[in-house]
Amino acid sequence: MTVCEYRPGLEGIPAAESSISYVDGQKGILQYRGIRIEELAEKSTFLETAYLLIWGELPSQEELKAFENEIQEQRRIKYRIRDMMKSFPESGHPMDALQASAAALGLFYSLRDLHNPKYIRDSVVRIMATIPTMIAAFQLMRTGNDPVKPKENLDYAGNFLYMLNEKEPDPLAARIFDVCLILHTEHTINASTFSARVTASTLTDPYAVVASAVGTLGGPLHGGANEEVIQMLEEIGTVDNVRPYLEDRLQRKAKIMGFGHRVYKVKDPRAKILQSLAVQLFEKFGYDKYYEIAQEVEKVMAEKVGKKGIYPNVDFYSGLVYRKMGIPTDLFTPVFAIARVAGWLAHWKEQLAENRIFRPTQIYNGLHEVPYTPMGKR
């Protein structure tokens, strides 16, 4: 067996064959099952897009309605999970609460029948239905309130916003949130998806698969970056402070959150759509200074590092959109998880089809034949 060249982070090394999504980072193209993200954002819904990713094709009207009904029927969570979440510390991060809750969900459905299509569908439905409920429940319980029950007459996106605020959302806000979910649903073998596939390759249950992916998504170099974008904009404070702030950071070679991508060398196509969504929200509900600061940041960054292929990524504008909807900053990444769980489940299902456990090699750079030193001589 030949040992390949070591590439930190496995950069550029194929880890799987997949037909789920496609990215061309040079041209700024993102496709789900061959369909451009721009077309899905304009014409589809999140649940239709999730169905496309998980089962490989767009559903018929009857198939989509059945999928929507199944998810609606499974939105409530077990009271024991709710009671467990009540014991979580109020200061805990919602991503940690979500990871623990997703893993706990598997305790109630411990039967593992990975060759049974009904088991797979039931698991997909249950996980997608309850993840938003658990996130909204933790948010309310950590502020001393009881969780809000799901509302049957609201769609997937609108129901989450309702459970979060106990107020039916504006139709525009609900639609924009649904599009945000579409944009975050899938993005090839990113860190959390790779984590999901590695876990899936052991043939464990899908709840463990999702829990492992949630844990990976929470890091600031992955899903957690959207929180840090808002923190950066708050730190900048004014439009006039943008240039000196960025020049100082760039001189120190410090990371500018929301900029740059391991794949895209042009502006992230999802960032373009998110920016237009932000404009729609602000035009209806009022502009704020952070959008103006963000525009200036993008302008100065294009001037300073645009030639290096460093442009806004999906995290740069998503936080502004969520903030305008009244979503707390530390829920931005859990909201990312609501969307990405469909992609994780699509990869789980694909991994099962031709599974082989992941077992990469390593390049050992340590010592050899080191004698044991007795305790008295150390």
66-85 as b/e: b if 16+ CB within 10 A: ebbebbbebbebeeebbebb
315 tagged catalytic = yes
21-24 and 35-36 as β-strands: parallel, antiparallel, unpaired? unpaired
- Among left, alpha and beta (phi > 0; psi -120 to 50; other), residue 343 is alpha
Cα 295 from Cα 77, distance rounded (Å): 41
Neighbours of 95 (CB within 10 A): 24
Which of 178, 261, 268, 347 is an active site residue? 261
Tell me which residue of 302, 200, 311 sits closest to 243, measured CA to CA: 302
Catalytic residue among 178, 205, 268, 315: 315
**Closest of 157, 152, 196 to residue 335, by C-alpha:** 157
Told to judge if 178 belongs to the known catalytic residues of this protein, a careful annotator would answer: no
CB of 105 closer than 8 Å to CB of 85: no
Catalytic sites, residue numbers: 261, 315
